[in-house]
């Protein structure tokens, strides 16, 4: 965060919160500070948009294809090889997509606190399909944190949380 930017309306999570929340979903879950996730349209990554009750963008949780496939497979206990194949092909199955949406819905709790305005999951987008206004808000955001996640036998991936 730079000195001229206002504090975010929705605070960013720390390692402990990510561990507490996502550790309930995945066996063998680990988390540490991660490399900055590529949020460009060409990245092949995914982005969950969280909106206020008025429909305005409030936060996003983006993930790489590895987390999308591994998390989507692990949630339904699909074979780890199915996730590896999805990463290699850069294409998720319908089950993985549905499960990623469920994981991203839970991730709303990463930016909500007792005293923050309500947010809800609007949609999970491939980065290439992100609406222009949301892409612009992401590009302008200075409130961001990235995590590297491990999902036991499934592998892992990276997530990035931004308060808009």
Question: In terms of CATH architecture, what is 15-163?
Answer: 3-Layer(aba) Sandwich (3.40)
Stretch 35-58: mean pLDDT, rounded?
A: 95
Q: How confident is the model at residue 8 (pLDDT cuts 50, 70, 90)?
A: confident
Q: Where are the domains of the chain?
A: 15-163
Mean of the pLDDT values across residues 132-138? 92
pLDDT for position 5: 60
In whole angstroms, what is the distance from residue 5 CA to residue 146 CA? 19
On whether the CB atoms of residues 31 and 157 are closer than 8 A, the answer is no
Q: What is the mean pLDDT of residues 5-30?
A: 91
Which residues touch 50 (CB under 8 Å, ≥6 apart)? 57, 58, 59, 60, 61, 108, 111, 119, 120, 121, 122
- Tokens read off for 99: 């499960």
| Predicted pLDDT of residue 2 | 44
Would the pLDDT of 57 be above 60? yes
Whether residue 1 has pLDDT greater than 90? no
Look up residue 2 and give its DSSP letter. Answer: -
**What pLDDT score was predicted for residue 9?**
84
66-109 pLDDT tens trace: 999 999 999 999 999 999 999 999 999 999 999 999 999 999 99
């Amino acid at each position: 965060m730079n000195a001229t930017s206002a504090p975010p309306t929705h605070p960013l999570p720390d390692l402990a919160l990510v561990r507490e929340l996502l550790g309930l979903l995945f066996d063998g879950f680990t988390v540490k500070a991660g490399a900055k996730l590529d949020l460009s349209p060409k990245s092949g990554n995914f982005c969950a948009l969280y909106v206020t009750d008025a429909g305005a963008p409030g936060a996003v949780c983006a993930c790489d294809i590895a987390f999308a496939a591994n998390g989507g497979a692990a949630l339904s206990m699909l074979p780890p090889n199915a996730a590896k194949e999805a990463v290699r092909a850069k294409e998720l199955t319908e089950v993985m997509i549905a499960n990623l949406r469920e994981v991203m819905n839970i991730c709303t709790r990463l930016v909500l606190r007792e005293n923050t305005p309500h947010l809800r999951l609007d949609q999970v987008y491939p980065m290439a399909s992100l609406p222009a206004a949301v892409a612009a808000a992401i590009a302008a955001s200075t409130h961001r944190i990235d995590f590297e996640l491990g999902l036991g036998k499934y592998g892992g991936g990276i997530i990035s949380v931004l308060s808009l």
